[in-house]
Amino acid sequence: MTQTVLSLSEAITLQRGFDLPTSQRSAGKYPIITSNGMATTHDEFKVKGPGVVIGRSGSIGGGQYIENDFWPLNTTLWVKDFKGNNEKFIYYLLKSIDFSSFNAGAAVPTLNRNHLSMLKVIIPSRNQQDEIANILGTLDEKIEHNRQMNETLEQMGQALFRHYFIDNPEAEKWRQTTLNQICERVGSGGTPPTKRNDYYGGDVSWFSTKELKDNFLFDSEKSITESGLVNSAAKLFPKNTVVMAIYAAPTVGRLGILTHESTFNQAACGLVALPKFGYEFIYLYLLLSRDELNNMANGAAQQNISVGTVRGFHVPLVPEDILLDFHSSIRPIFEQIQNNYEQIQTLTTLRDTLLPRLISGKVKV
């Protein structure tokens, strides 16, 4: 594999983004790119696409590839000149770099592009760049395809729920009960003392509320030991438990579904559905009740709801024949959503593993 080691400034030219005060923004067809994603749109653009952007201030580094014309805000650095390199390869190259050591900010993380100029990078031949970009791009396309498919499936699931339980003319005749009455168990999680290193890094999955993104929960960012589980308020909950954030509006109501026995922190509540109701019913009911849950949140420093409030939250007492009919329709949808999430996770891990190895030349193309 033919490679050349260059300084970053020899490989590309980075330029600071442009000012655009909120008062001057007007909705249009061009995305406004911030350091951590797209903020909104504007009716003008500053940069012709395709383009590559990294975070300059606030969220630094990373990498965003923008297909069409766009407006990079002043919290970003964008590639002004690719100097003949493959745009998508440069995107992956920048994503592979840990920019944390170049942080020049105190209170707010900041990159100074002049400090980056002498950073050494490996630049393969253009043909090899094209191959690397194609391999990684194909994986990203499959990830995006599964993500879009899940969006469609989730919309179908919500539509089915509304059809059976909200728009159904019979719904007005149903009595009301509580979540506690249709669940085998409703309870909060717990956090082992963080100063005890022997309580962390074990085999027990332990999720924080930031991992709740209305998704299936596979691998937790942190894990705890059996000792940490026994000596804290943390509790194991079974597969298919619906986990809901109960601290800090407007995040109250964010959801996750356990794919294996796990635990989570005290800022979340777990709901184990009775079999005849099923986790799908609980999940969709809570998802569509999020605004109501946020309105119920209370507290001084944080806007929270209690586990007791969750237990007493009203829910329709649906006849069993309707539940059975609903389950026969909804279960295949949720199974496909979970399968797609598993594929996304596998493909993401593969991409993130290949990325530095392809860039460095350890894996040859």
- pLDDT digits over 117-160, tens only? 899 999 999 999 999 999 999 999 999 999 999 999 999 999 99
Q: On the CB side of 82, how many CA atoms lie within 13 Å of its CA?
A: 18
Give me the torsion for CA of 207, 209, 212, 213, rounded to 10°: -140
φ, ψ of residue 25 in degrees (nearest 5): -85, 135
Compute the distance between CA of residue 38 and CA of residue 66 in angstroms, rounded to an integer: 10
Predicted pLDDT of residue 301:
55
Spans in the chain with pLDDT lower than 70: 1, 249, 298-302
Mean pLDDT over the full length of the chain: 93
Predicted structure pTM score:
0.87
C-alpha 278: how far from chain center: 25
Q: How far is Cα 138 from Cα 292, in angstroms, rounded to an integer? A: 41
For 175-317, which CATH superfamily applies?
DNA methylase specificity domains (3.90.220.20)
Same fold, 3-124 and 175-317: yes
Type of residue numbered 235: K
Both structure tokens of 48: 């012709």
Task: Classify strands 263-264 and 200-207 as parallel, antiparallel or unpaired.
Answer: parallel
CB 52 within 8 A of CB 94: yes
Two tokens at 80? 């002004």
Cα–Cα distance measured from residue 227 to residue 209, given in angstroms and rounded to the nearest whole number: 22
Per-residue confidence (pLDDT) for residue 342, from 0 to 100: 96
Written in H, E and C, the secondary structure of the chain is: CCEEEEEHHHHCEEEECECCCHHHCCCCCEEEEECCEEEEEECCCCECCCEEEEECECCCEEEEEECCCEEEECCEEEEEECCCCCHHHHHHHHHCCCHHHHECCCCCCEECHHHHCCCEEEEECHHHHHHHHHHHHHHHHHHHHHHHHHHHHHHHHHHHHHHHHHCCHHHHHCCEEEHHHHEEEEEECCCCCCCCHHHEEEEEEEECHHHCCCEEECCCCEEECHHHHHCCCCCCECCCCEEEECCCCCCCCCEEEECCCEEECCCEEEEEECCCCHHHHHHHHHHHCHHHHHHHCECCCCCECCHHHHHCCEEECCCHHHHHHHHHHHHHHHHHHHHHHHHHHHHHHHHHHHHHHHHHCCCCC
State residue 1's pLDDT score: 59
The CA-to-CA distance between both ends of the chain, in Å, stands at: 7
| Beta bridge partner(s), residue 103 | 111
Tokens 């592009």 sit on residue:
113
Domain boundaries, the chain: 3-124, 175-317
pLDDT of 235 reads 96
Among the listed residues 269, 282, 265, 270, the one whose alpha carbon sits nearest the alpha carbon of residue 326: 282
For 3-124, which CATH superfamily applies? DNA methylase specificity domains (3.90.220.20)
